[in-house]
Amino acid sequence: MKTRVLALLAIAVLAVTGTAFAHHGAAAYDMAKPVTVKGVVTDFQFINPHVLITIDVKGDDGSVQKWQGELTSPNHLARAGWTKSTIKLGDTITLMGAGAKSGSSTIWIRKIVGANGEPVSLGGGGDN
Amino acid sequence: MRASLKVSVLPLVGLLACALILSAQSSKQDAAKAPSAPASPHDLSGVWTMHAPTSARGYIGDTFTKDEPAMTPWGEEQYKATKPSNGPRTHTLDTTDDPVLRSCLPPGVPRIYLQPFPLQIVQTPNEVIILYEYDHTVRHIYTDLQKHPDDLTPTYMGHSIGHWEGDKLVVDTTGFNDTTWLDRTGHRHSDQLHVVERFQRTGRDTLQVDISMDDSKALAKPWVSQLVFQLKPDWKIMEQNCADNGSFANFEK
């Protein structure tokens, strides 16, 4: 229930901010499809146009599924205090956002809960 | 007598020195606390980021007005044929024909304002330079020219001249090619596009830009919009390369 509420909150945030933070539209994602995944960071690319985070998500049966999350530009995140070391390999984090229409294990990230259990600020980078 | 005078004056001198030091420190602190002086209306310099009013947040990242611009039949036909990534007719990165996203072509004017990154204005005696963070895009607005050169070669960002009308910097841009889009939702223009921007520093931290797009081939009447920017004294313009976008077409399939 808590996860669902958080996911809905994430979508609400997206609805308010729109797609203005992105260099392109959100056609690949279903805004009505909130997704929350928790896993271990295996890759973190602090690159343009959008920052990418890859995590390994362990299923109840012990199987591991790779999820890739897309964030805004590193420029906007840098203005919120991020560096290329903000997310560390091996950290267990939670990604919340919109799922891919294609059904692939990708997510448009709107919220992150860090290894310490606290939300990681995605900033705003101003209004654009 | 002289000795006793010395003894009695010395503490006074010391007290005076302390008072002067404290007074100087206090003045410094007051100066630090005092709000910055209002900017000169003719000083547009600084790093600015778009600050959309709440009423505009549903569209301002993608286009200039809530309502569609008045288009000519040609403009309407061109618009319907486009496959934008942004806006209500959104396409994925591998299917859009947006020239910025497909080919990394310069966004043109005024679309450059919709690319979601800040800009820096630099003023020199002969020109106003706008450094947009998006893809190192630069505009030179010549304030030392009275008119555009004859027979301009069409370009993506056009040819800009500017002059002051009271507190407003009026920028006239023409000489566009017909490759760019007016916005991120697929409104096209012809090589007849003529853009007038009026920059006004409406406050110490606020810059208003009134934009008018005129194109007799694509628009039935001028398309006007108003953008508001907020000063960001602590921000620096960073690197942003459009070429990096290419890696995402496959990622989002």
**HEC assignment per residue over B154-171:** CECCCEEEEEEECCEEEE
pLDDT digits (tens, 9 = 90+) for B224-241: 999 999 999 999 999 998
Closest alpha carbon within chain A to B252: A28
pLDDT digits (tens, 9 = 90+) for B122-146: 999 999 999 999 999 999 999 999 9
Domain enclosing residue B227, as ranges: 46-233+240-251
- Residue among A23, A78, A79 minimizing CB distance to B116: A23
Which residues in chain A (24-83) have CB-CB distances under 8 A to chain B? Answer: 24-28, 47-50, 52, 68, 70, 73, 75-76, 78-79
Closest alpha carbon within chain A to B113: A128
Assess: ipTM above 0.85.
no
- Distance between CA B231 and CA B39 in Å, rounded? 11
CB B38 within 8 A of CB B204: yes
Contact assignment for A127 to B241 by CB distance below 8 Å: no
Q: Enter the pTM of the model.
A: 0.80
CB A117 within 8 A of CB A92: no
**DSSP E strands: which ranges in B20-166?**
46-50, 119-123, 127-132, 137-142, 159-165
Least Cα distance to B176 among B197, B198, B160 occurs for B160
Chain A hits for B98, CB-CB cut-off 8 Å, are 24
CB B252 within 8 A of CB A101: no
List, in sequence order, the alpha helices (H) in chain A: 2-17, 74-79
Contact assignment for B57 to A17 by CB distance below 8 Å: yes
**DSSP E strands: which ranges in A3-127?**
29-45, 52-58, 64-70, 92-100, 106-113, 119-120
Fold of domain A2-119: OB fold (Dihydrolipoamide Acetyltransferase, E2P) (2.40.50)
Domain total in chain B: 1
Question: Domain holding B75: CATH number?
Answer: 2.40.128.20
pLDDT tens series, chain B, 253 aa: 444 444 444 444 444 444 444 444 444 444 444 456 667 999 999 999 999 887 787 788 899 999 999 999 999 999 999 999 999 998 988 899 999 988 899 999 999 999 999 999 999 999 999 999 999 999 999 999 999 999 999 999 999 999 999 999 999 999 999 999 999 999 999 999 999 999 999 999 999 999 999 999 999 999 999 999 999 999 999 999 888 766 665 666 5
CB B61 within 8 A of CB A128: yes
